[in-house]
Amino acid sequence: MGKCSNYGLAKFRWFPKELSSEISIPVKLFENVDTTYEGKVYKRKDLVRKLLTPTDLSSLFLVSLKKFIKHNFIYLWQANEFKTCILDFPNDVGV
């Protein structure tokens, strides 16, 4: 789940250049923005352009990485359980 102190996100290290706030990286990303239509305010996803520091950009990747680790863990567990179930299922049922 990414929480292991030996192999998880705790082992993620920043490079010295990533900690610099002097560098700006132009990025495009989807964000929730408020939009007004017929007097009502709605939230929608919109592609926005931003200048981010390397630390901010890396932090965005860490959020995505946590979600991926959790998704991957759950998927692999379910896939292994299914394979075990199929292998243990008797072949002569219904024959």
Q: How far is the CA of 93 from the CAs of 20, 79, 85, in angstroms?
A: 65, 23, 14
2 found inside a domain: no
For the entire predicted model, the pTM comes to 0.48
Q: How far apart are CA 81 and CA 94, in angstroms?
A: 23
67 found inside a domain: yes
34 found inside a domain: yes
Query: Could you give the angle at the alpha carbon of 24 between the alpha carbons of 20 and 27, nearest 5°?
Result: 130
What is the extent of the structural domain holding 35?
A: 9-88
16 found inside a domain: yes
Tally Cβ neighbours within 10 Å of residue 18: 15
49 found inside a domain: yes
Q: How far apart are CA 93 and CA 95, in angstroms?
A: 6
Residue 79 has pLDDT above 80, yes or no: yes
Q: What number is the average pLDDT over the span 70-95? A: 76
3 found inside a domain: no
Of 85 and 66, the structure prediction assigns the larger pLDDT to 85
Residue 93 has pLDDT above 70, yes or no: no
User: For the segment 8-61, what is each residue's pLDDT rounded down to a tens digit?
Assistant: 666 677 777 777 778 888 999 888 988 888 989 999 999 999 998 887 887 787
